[in-house]
Structure 1
């Protein structure tokens, strides 16, 4: 009698995530955030509150945006009213980043997150569709457990084929 061939368990966030995560605290100064991001070699970092919950993500783009010149939106003045023609949301976002002092103020709030049981395929799909560099892996309470990067996903897909 021959044994049935073993099938590998499906890979999930739990099996491919990095457990030691470089992160910043919500109250960290923007300069501290920039230094930590550059020193880590990562493209983005999770922002944690005092209880270890993920409250945002900061990427290289956020830090670059914070140092760019703010462009006023084009407006139309009509009967003592100012009507934005375009770019009002972009202006508000640029202003928010340019005036940020702490990690929480600069971070993208309510970031996309992953859970331990998420499949590699679903993680890959979300990272690509949303043009993300990484997904923090959280428990049901939003506490950081690990992080899955594009490299982690690529490694899992290559090893699985």
Structure 2
């Protein structure tokens, strides 16, 4: 099965459910659940994609924060595990808005990206959805795993 010659413009979903960067986390959770999607693009006031927010982000935001294990040596604190993980957990736990909780600078697709490239990126990066943007970064649509599968099946 191949979808040779087809692009994001051909297979993307144009009616996109998104959230505004200033939406509160409760609004985001409600919108995500109502949409039935795994992830939603976060857009600024100009419609530019500034992040992606998903089920995992919302679950992480509601988990307890685990302090990193540290070793105290000669008046120094040396992390044995995960300052970065701790900072990420803390960021999510204290998030008030969609932008604060979202994964910033998400991977995006362009209209001309081929289906095979999109499939490869989604699988290798374990993504559910790629926002499709114009040259200015404004949201035009999304390509999901389902869109790619549909394109591949139509070609066979």
Q: Normalising by structure 2, what TM-score? A: 0.97
Q: Partner residue of 2:67?
A: 72
Unaligned runs of at least 5 residues, structure 1: 1-7
Paired position in structure 2 for 1:3 = none
Match of 2:141 in 1: 146
What are the equivalent positions in structure 2 for 1:115-126 lying under 5 Å apart? 115-126=110-121
CA RMSD, 1 decimal? 1.0
Rounded Cα–Cα distance in structure 1 between residues aligned with 2:30 and 2:6: 33
Aligned equivalents of 2:68, 2:77: Cα separation in 1: 11
Is 1:127–2:122 an aligned residue pair? yes
- Report the equivalent of 2:106: 111
Larger relative contact order (C-alpha < 8 A, sep ≥ 6)?
2
Structure 2 residue matching 1:14: 3-state secondary structure: helix
Question: Which segments of 5 or more consecutive residues in structure 2 lack a partner in the other structure?
Answer: none
Alignment partner of 2:109: what SS? Answer: coil
Larger C-alpha radius of gyration, 1 or 2? Answer: 1
In the alignment, which of 52, 55, 67 is matched to residue 47 of structure 2? 52
In the alignment of these two chains, the number of paired residues is 154
Is 2:18 the partner of 1:23? yes
Residue 10 (structure 1) shift: 1.3
Displacement over 2 Å in runs of 4+: none
Q: Secondary structure at the match of 2:140?
A: strand
CA distance in 2, matches of 1:159, 1:122: 17
